[in-house]
Amino acid sequence: MSTYYTGKRAQHYNTRWHTYTARTLEETKAIIDVAALRFVPERLGRCPRVLDVACGTGILLRQLLALVPGVEAYGVDASADMLVQARMALKGQLHVHLERAQIGRGETANLPYAQETFDLITCTNALHDMPEPAGMLAGLKRLLVPGGQLVVEDFAPREPRFFWAAFEWLLRRIERNNVRTYTLFEARALCQQAGLHVASENVFTVDWLWHGWVVRAYRTSSEAAPTHA
C-alpha cells in the first residue's frame, strides 16, 4: 500500500487540496441523483445507505449527510491517518461508520459489506490509485442495491501525452504507488468491463493543470436506472 496519505500529508490534506477538493466534489454532487436517494425511505421504508470508498478525510460524506437527511453513511479508506481526519470531520453525526480497508478486486471489492447494501457508492479522486480498477468496480457493483448508483470521479490525463507520461512518472515516485490516470472514454470502458452502464457523465476543469471527469453508473441489464417522481 502507498504510504503517501499518512502523517503530515494526511493532517494537511484538506488545506493543501482545498480548491481542488471543493471543485471535484461539487462536480460529484452535481451528478448524483439526489432525488432518488431522498425517495428511498418512501420507496423502501428505510434510510438511504451511502458508501464512500477511499473516503479520505470524510469531506464528501459530511456534505452528503447535509444533502440527504437521515442518510446512513459508510466510509472506507486504507489510511488510518486520513480516517483520523474523517472521524474529526464527522464527529457528532449520527449513523456514520468508518472502516479501515484496502479496496481491491474481490467479490465485494474486499469490503466487509453484504451484497446489495448501498443505494449510492462514491469514489472520488482515487481510481488512479487502484491496481485493478475494473475488478474493483465489479466488486462495488455487487454492493449496490438494484437501481443503486455508482458515482466515480477522478482527474484526467492531459495533452500532450509525453508531458502527461512524465507527470504520471513523477506522481508514481511521489506517491510510491502505481498511479494510472484515465480519460472519460477509458473510465466508461472500465465501467462496461465491470458490468456497469454509464447513464450520465461530465468533464470539467479545475485549473490550468487539473482536469477531471465524473460518471454515474448503474448495474447493467435488469438493474437499469430507476424511475421516480
By CB under 6 A, name the binding residues for ligand SAM.
5, 21, 54-56, 59, 77-79, 82, 102-103, 124-126, 129-130
Q: How far is the CB of 46 from ligand SAM (least distance, A)?
A: 26
Give all strands of the β-sheet with 72-77 in edge-to-edge order.
96-100, 72-77, 49-53, 118-124, 144-155, 211-219, 196-205
Q: d(Cα 189, Cα 35) in Å, to the nearest integer?
A: 27
CB nearer ligand SAM, residue 130 or residue 223:
130
Nearer to ligand SAM, 5 or 218 (CB): 5
Name the residue with the smallest CB distance to ligand SAM: 56
Distance CA 217, CA 151 (A): 6
Closer to ligand SAM by Cβ: residue 48 or 58: 58
Strands 72-77 and 96-100: parallel
We find the least distance from the C-beta atom of residue 223 to ligand SAM, in angstroms, to be 25
Strand partners, 73: 50, 96
The C-alpha atoms of residue 205 and residue 211 are separated, in whole angstroms, by 4
| Closest to 149 (Cα-Cα) out of 51, 74, 56, 54 | 51
- Min. distance of Cβ 80 from ligand SAM in angstroms? 9
CA distance to 163, 188, 217, per residue, from 159 (Å):
7, 19, 27
Judged by beta carbon, residue 42 or residue 207, the one nearer ligand SAM is 207
Pairwise CA distance, residues 153 & 181, whole Å: 11
Please state the φ and ψ torsions of residue 171, each to the nearest 5 degrees: -60, -40
| Closest distance to ligand SAM from the beta carbon of 226 (Å) | 25
Closest to ligand SAM by CB, 102 vs 205, is 102
Q: Which is nearer to ligand SAM, 51 or 223 (CB)?
A: 51
| Distance in Å, CB of 5 to ligand SAM, minimum | 4
Nearest-approach distance from CB 2 to ligand SAM, in angstroms: 6
